[in-house]
Amino acid sequence: MKKNVIVLIGLIIILFAVNYSFLDSLLINLFDEGEVVIVEKVIDGDTIVAGKVSVRLLGINSPERKEQYYEEAREFLEDAVLNKTVILKFGKEKQDKYNRTLAYVFVGNKNLNLEMVKNGFANFYFPSGRDVYYDDFKSAWEECEENLCERSADECADCIELEEFDYENEIVVFYNKCDFDCELTEWEIKDEGRKSFVFPEFVLGVGKNVKVIVSEEDVVDNQEEVFWRRKDYVWTDSGDTLFLRDSKGKLVLWENY
């Protein structure tokens, strides 16, 4: 018996050294049975009501009302969970600042939060920092090809490069590598959450850069610098992602840190 215990401890240590994320996930599945509830209502693509409590789905951010794919995201989640028994599994924080419960929603062994990303109805979103599921969500986004993940067909989609992403100083620089001008009017920059910037009437010339600066100051836009006016930060210290979309909402590029 004593020998078996020593062997078991040794195997756990090896697993920990080789793959911490795997061990962390294993422990969660073994010891965190979660909370069993029935879903009474689906608010949108990342919020439900279960057990008379508002639940915000962890790891994702879906389109807001009036945004593209809002209805599709809500309907996809509704079809998957409404009036069904689900298991809520919790992360680092159990509630957000709006007193909503934060959870991963499982139907059987299927993580519905992850399914939202796989099907292009949400982007991955970890404002409190990466957890055991982060790699799964990022991989799902990389492999996704429809809806929010659908690549832009704009002729300038292959022209615009992210030359600099200085998240500490809130500066982003894009470069036009093509031999023709690119109109970026109504192109959108977005973080993982709700913060977004839409280019005003703007043309990025051949071989030119444009610097997008987050600033509280009232400044004049020009062809070299565009100011994203905000009273607070955009890029989070715990890690974030930049998404650039064309005027039709299709994905041009993304970069995370």
121 and 220 in a common domain: no
Residue 190 lies in a domain: yes
Residue finishing a domain among 148, 180, 201: 148
Which of 21-30, 32-41, 54-63, 242-251 has the weakest average pLDDT? 21-30
Q: For residue 7, what pLDDT band results from cuts at 50, 70 and 90?
A: very low
133 and 36 in a common domain: yes
pTM of the full predicted structure?
0.83
Which of 1-5, 135-139, 160-164 has the weakest average pLDDT? 1-5
Do 242 and 173 touch, CB atoms closer than 8 A?
no
187 and 143 in a common domain: no
**Active-site residue set:** 56, 64, 100
Residue 19 lies in a domain: no
Domain tally for the chain? 2
| pLDDT of amino acid 32 | 54
222 and 128 in a common domain: no
Task: Give the DSSP H/E element, type plus range, for residue 88.
Answer: strand 85-89
203 and 140 in a common domain: no
User: Which percentage of the chain shows pLDDT scores above 70?
Assistant: 85
DSSP percent split of the chain into helix, strand, coil, nearest 5: 25, 35, 40
Is the confidence at residue 21, as pLDDT, over 60? no
Domain span at 193:
151-256
| pLDDT of amino acid 3 | 52
Residue 27 lies in a domain: no
| pLDDT of amino acid 33 | 66
126 and 39 in a common domain: yes
Region of 144 on the Ramachandran plot (φ > 0 left; ψ -120 to 50 alpha; else beta): beta
Residue finishing a domain among 122, 148, 174: 148
User: Which percentage of the chain shows pLDDT scores above 90?
Assistant: 81
| pLDDT of amino acid 217 | 79
- pLDDT digits 0-9 by tens, 187-243: 999 999 999 999 999 999 999 999 999 998 766 666 689 999 999 999 999 999 999
Residue 199 lies in a domain: yes
Residue 54 lies in a domain: yes
Residue, of 26 and 192, whose pLDDT is higher:
192
- pLDDT digits 0-9 by tens, 74-103: 999 999 999 999 999 999 889 999 999 999
Cα 44 versus chain centre, distance: 16
Residue 18 lies in a domain: no
Q: Give the helix ranges, DSSP H, for the chain.
A: 2-18, 20-31, 70-81, 112-118, 134-143
Residue finishing a domain among 132, 148, 164: 148
What mean pLDDT is predicted for residues 165-170? 97
CATH number (domain holding residue 121):
2.40.50.90
Residue 6 lies in a domain: no
Residue 5 lies in a domain: no
Q: How far apart are CA 35 and CA 193, in angstroms?
A: 26
105 and 206 in a common domain: no
CATH number (domain holding residue 187):
2.60.40.1260
